[in-house]
């Protein structure tokens, strides 16, 4: 087995190869002036190749993955696994308005048709319970960053109130809180647009509390910002935030910090300056499970 990476996700792919004690090789990319990509894969390949790349900013990456898979199979790879810690296009799982494409089904089928296995971390699924329902590959494995986040929080804080900014976050917040012995609560969110959200906190005493917002992803940052402002208005002495997938589109990080959040931590599912929680052990164990 070889680990294959790309320059934009080299550190994580290289760390995975070290953890698995296998060779790391890199796929070369060149962008033409018109936006097309030239992909060059290593040759003399083993039977099993593991491609490692997170799929934030996905449109160009998906094309490059398809080109890579084609070339890898041509040069001897019989089994190709994808490790994509952040998995794109999973949120749209229904035709909410007439004419909308159901991206989860389209991209899920695309990945299943091209990869033998897909491994990801805490995918943003709504109406489906298992990743294989979205990606019908031989192995479709979703692992969680919750354990690594919990261990990190225990190292940073003696005690704190974990706060999920919406109902979708409860699955991660509750599990982390129970594991490390922190208390938790979950807010209610009403979204009226990409950047328009309203957060309502449950009734409880927040005065003097050190609150840590926990969410699976931060995109525009407005959900975390609104939650932080509500916590501070209700007397919290400090608000920090930890996210699994730091998408941080445009000015998202600035929006969060301006809301009063003191510290922002993230996992390295997506490369960002806030990375402090490393997923290599979780991902290495997942690869061992399917190997």
Taking CA atoms, 13 is separated from 29, 49, 75, 252, in Å, by 16, 12, 21, 26
For 75-112, the pLDDT digits (tens) are 999 999 999 999 999 989 899 899 999 999 999 999 99
Written as tens digits, the pLDDT of the chain (291 aa) is 999 999 999 999 999 999 999 999 999 999 999 999 999 999 999 999 999 999 999 999 999 999 999 999 999 999 999 999 999 999 898 998 999 999 999 999 999 999 999 999 999 887 888 999 999 999 999 999 999 999 999 999 999 999 999 888 888 899 999 999 999 999 987 765 555 678 889 999 999 999 999 999 999 999 999 999 999 999 999 999 999 999 999 999 999 999 999 999 999 999 999 999 999 999 999 999 998
Contact yes or no for 291/1 (Cβ under 8 A): yes
Contacts of 31 (CB under 8 A, 6+ apart): 37, 38
CA distance 262 to 240: 5
The SS3 call for residue 291 is coil
Tokens of 171: 């699955």
Contacts of 273 (CB under 8 A, 6+ apart): none
Contacts of 36 (CB under 8 A, 6+ apart): none
Contact yes or no for 265/287 (Cβ under 8 A): no
Return the closest-CA partner of residue 132 out of 122, 124, 142, 146: 142
The SS3 call for residue 3 is strand
| Residue indicated by tokens 């898979």 | 69
Helices marked H in 170-274 — which ranges?
170-180, 222-233, 252-258
CA distance 158 to 140: 37
Taking CA atoms, 171 is separated from 114, 142, 144, 176, 231, in Å, by 31, 14, 11, 9, 20
Fold of the domain spanning 146-277: Rossmann fold (3.40.50)
Global pTM reads 0.94
Contact yes or no for 4/72 (Cβ under 8 A): yes
The SS3 call for residue 171 is helix
Sequence ranges of the domains in the chain: 2-143, 146-277
* Pairing mode, strands 37-40 and 28-31: antiparallel
Identical fold between 2-143 and 146-277: yes
Fold of the domain spanning 2-143: Rossmann fold (3.40.50)
């Amino acid at each position: 087995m070889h680990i294959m990476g790309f320059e934009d996700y080299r550190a994580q792919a290289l760390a995975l190869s070290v953890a698995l004690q296998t060779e790391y090789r890199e796929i070369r990319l060149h962008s033409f002036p018109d936006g097309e990509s030239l992909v060059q894969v290593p040759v003399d390949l083993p039977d099993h190749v593991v491609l490692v790349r997170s799929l934030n900013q996905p449109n160009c990456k998906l094309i490059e993955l398809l080109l890579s898979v084609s070339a890898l199979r041509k040069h001897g790879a019989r089994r190709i696994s994808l490790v994509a810690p952040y998995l794109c296009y999973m949120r749209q799982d229904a035709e909410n308005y007439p004419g909308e494409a159901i991206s989860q089904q389209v991209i899920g089928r695309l990945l299943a048709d091209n990869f033998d296995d897909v491994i990801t971390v805490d995918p943003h699924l709504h109406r489906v319970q298992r990743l294989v329902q979205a990606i019908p590959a031989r192995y479709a494995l979703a692992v969680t960053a919750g354990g690594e986040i919990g261990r990190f929080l225990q190292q940073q804080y003696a005690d704190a109130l974990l706060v999920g900014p919406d109902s979708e976050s409860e699955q991660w917040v509750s599990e982390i809180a129970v594991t490390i012995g922190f208390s938790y609560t979950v807010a209610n969110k009403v979204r009226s647009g990409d950047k328009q959200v309203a957060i309502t906190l449950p009734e409880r005493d927040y005065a003097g509390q050190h609150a840590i917002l926990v969410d699976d992803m931060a995109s525009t940052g407005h959900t975390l910002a609104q939650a932080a402002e509500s916590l501070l208005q209700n007397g919290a002495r400090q608000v920090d935030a930890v996210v699994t997938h730091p998408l941080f589109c445009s000015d998202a990080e600035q929006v969060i910090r301006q809301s009063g959040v003191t510290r922002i931590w993230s996992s390295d599912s997506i490369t960002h300056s806030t990375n402090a929680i490393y997923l290599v052990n979780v991902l290495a164990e997942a690869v061992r499970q399917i190997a």
